[in-house]
Amino acid sequence: YYYKEKNLNKSLIPTQKQEEIQEKIANQADGSEVFTNIEYTGLDISGNRYILKSKKAYNDLNNKELVNLNSVTAVFYFKDSSILQIKSDKGLYNNITLDMNFYENINAIYEGTILNAQIAKYSNVNNNLTISEDVKINSENGIIFADKLIFDIKQKTLDIMAKKNEKINANVTLQWNKLLDSGR
């Protein structure tokens, strides 16, 4: 057996990589685990499929079911073949209840309609999406500004609300032929 003296102090990880790791550890939130480029997929309570992605995520070590998200993208594939896409700067995902909250600079697209807001909360149990704070809907029929929207996913209904004693601001183009044909 031949043994040549070796430098046992030699590092297995290059210095540059060690510095990158140390920087990531220093930037992570206290008491949390940090993940990059995460993806959750699953089915909601009604059997609709969803994909939730985040460029950076972290959870509190004391409450692992809640995952804080940065640079968030969610896509809901509904049974009727319609698709809802939501993007936001921040989010919160409960990996037990499957509830999803989106915060800051929300941009959503549903059947050609574009929605902008600051807060959107998806409730799996209630099967709805509540949208609030600077809500703007832009569709081929016009523009609506509101304080709050509640989209019932199962019933495919949308409730539009304003603050008490205030009005909803809307500029909507009605197609009279469709109204007349429906008997209204």
What phi, psi does 162 have (nearest 5°)? Answer: -120, 165
**Two structure tokens written together for 47:** 């059997």
User: What are the tens digits of pLDDT across the range 21-75?
Assistant: 666 555 555 556 788 899 999 888 888 899 999 999 988 777 888 999 999 999 9
Average pLDDT score over the chain: 80
- How confident is the model over 64-88, as a mean pLDDT? 93
- How far is 93 from 123, CA to CA, in rounded Å? 11
> What pTM value is reported for the model?
0.73
Q: CB under 8 Å to 90, separation ≥6 — which residues?
A: 68, 69, 70, 72, 102, 103, 104
* Of 11-25, 84-98, 100-114, the least confident: 11-25
pLDDT at 158: 81
The per-residue pLDDT for 176 is 47
As a whole-number percent, the residues of the chain with pLDDT over 90 amount to 37
Count CA atoms closer than 13 A to 166's CA, side-chain side. Answer: 12
pLDDT for res 168: 62
In this structure, are residues 117 and 106 in contact, taking their beta carbons and an 8 Å threshold?
Answer: yes
Q: Output 149-155 pairs: Cβ under 8 A, ≥24 positions apart.
A: 149/115, 149/117, 152/127, 152/128, 153/44, 153/46, 153/48, 153/76, 153/78, 153/127, 153/128, 153/129, 154/46, 154/127
> Average pLDDT, stretch 108-113?
90
For the stretch 144-163, pLDDT in tens is 888 888 988 888 888 888 76
Separation between Cα atoms, residue 154 and residue 166, nearest integer Å: 29
Which of 99-113, 136-150, 161-175 has maximum average pLDDT?
99-113
Q: Is the pLDDT of residue 177 over 90?
A: no
